[in-house]
Amino acid sequence: MTTLLEVQHLSKSFGGLRVTDDVSFTLASGDRVALIGPNGAGKTTLVNQLSGDLAPSDGRILLAGEDVTKAPIPERVRGGLVRTFQVTRLFTSLTVAENVALAVMQRRGLTRRMFSSVLDRSDVRDEWQGVLSLLGIGHLAATPVTKLAYGQQRLLDLAIGLAMKPRVLVLDEPAAGVPHDESPRILEAIGRMSPEIAILMIEHDMDLVFKFAKRVLVLANGALIFEGTPAEVKENDAVRAAYLGNYADARRAS
């Protein structure tokens, strides 16, 4: 398997506060990795550095062997590093189809065109329709985004990411805010994605994590404290102390 993303000794400090502390890991083609950790562990901060939204203080990020630590966001996206957001970020004045088509057109270098729509051009149309039906929201193509239920918005968020044909897809809590009984639909959608893509998923919902991940990274106070299979993570005392303990307590209480 080819290594697609390599994070080397990544650190980020805000003043005296170290929010990312010497984090190193790799993602290879086909990886299904979950990044977990208690609230405030620095998960989203880490993702923001991967996507280029936030500059790391130290360390390197390699995308398919190329150093993108200082590369601007569009360059990383062109390199195949795509992310979604914890809170849905959609183009709310447009329809579902337009949201996905924009990503398709951008990837294919069509968004500089200034004359007439290419939304219905067969190659573009096939692609956005394909992505929408893969995620099970094909019937909503013509619906304005503002009329979608929240679960559908989350799926559209995934669809936009997927339309970019990512090599590395970073999903920041894809099931956040989705009613618990609907989260399997999200997982199902992720399951249908191409096996070539390396997926890093940040998630709070442990059921989802254990169903999705082949490998789990545990972050606490900005540092990676454990890396292993879901079964190993469950058994590990340090992880339990930092995170799962609270989770188990919370589950018992509910």
Partner 1 sequence: MATLSVTAAPSAWAGLRNDLIAAAVIAVLGAIGWFVYPDDLAFLTRVIGLAFLVISLDLVTGYCGVATLGHAALFGVGAYAAGNFCLAGVTDPILMLLIGALAGMATGLVSGLLVTRFRGLPQLVLSIAFGQLVAALANKLSSITGGSDGLAGISASPVFGIFNFDMFGRTGYVFSVIVLLITMVVLLRFARSPFALMCRAIKDDTLRTRMIGVSVYPRLVVMYCVAGAVAGLGGALTAINTGVIGLDSVSFERSAEALIMLILGGAGNLWGALIGAILFELFHHYVSAASPFHWMILVGVLLIVVVLFFPKGLVNEVTRRIGDFRQARAAR
User: Least separation, in Å, of the C-beta of 27 and partner 1?
Assistant: 18
214: amino acid identity, one letter = K
234 binds partner 1 (CB under 8 A): no
Nearer to partner 1 by C-beta: 82 or 186?
Answer: 82
Determine if 77 is a binding residue for partner 1 (CB under 8 A): yes
CA distance 237 to 242: 9
Contact pick of 35, 56, 85, 167 for partner 1 (by CB under 8 A): 85
Does 252 bind partner 1 (CB under 8 A)? Our answer is: no
Should residue 193 be labelled a site residue for partner 1 when binding is judged by CB under 8 A?
A: no
Among 16, 122, 195, 250, indicate the residue that binds partner 1 (CB under 8 A).
122
Among residues 22, 30, 57, 125, the one that binds partner 1 under rule CB under 8 A: 125
Q: Please tell me whether residue 64 binds partner 1 under the rule CB under 8 A.
A: no
Is 254 near partner 1 (CB under 8 A)? no
**DSSP-derived secondary structure for the chain:** --EEEEEEEEEEEETTEEEEEEEEEEEETT-EEEEE--TTSSHHHHHHHHHTSS--SEEEEEETTEE-TT--HHHHHHTTEEE--SS----TTSBHHHHHHHHHHHHTT-TT--SS--TTSHHHHHHHHHHHHHTT-GGGTTSBGGGS-HHHHHHHHHHHHHHT--SEEEEE-TTTTS-GGGHHHHHHHHHTS-TTSEEEEE-S-HHHHHHH-SEEEEEETTEEEEEE-HHHHHH-HHHIIIIIHHHHHHHHH-
Compute the least distance from the CB of residue 177 to partner 1, in Å: 17
Interface residue with partner 1, options 116, 195, 250, 253 (CB under 8 A): 116
Residue 89: CB minimum distance to partner 1, A: 4
Q: Which of 18, 30, 69, 107 binds partner 1 (CB under 8 A)?
A: 107
Which residues sit at the interface with partner 1, rule CB under 8 A? 51, 53, 72-74, 77-78, 82-83, 85, 89-95, 97-99, 101-103, 105-107, 110-122, 125, 141-142, 160, 164
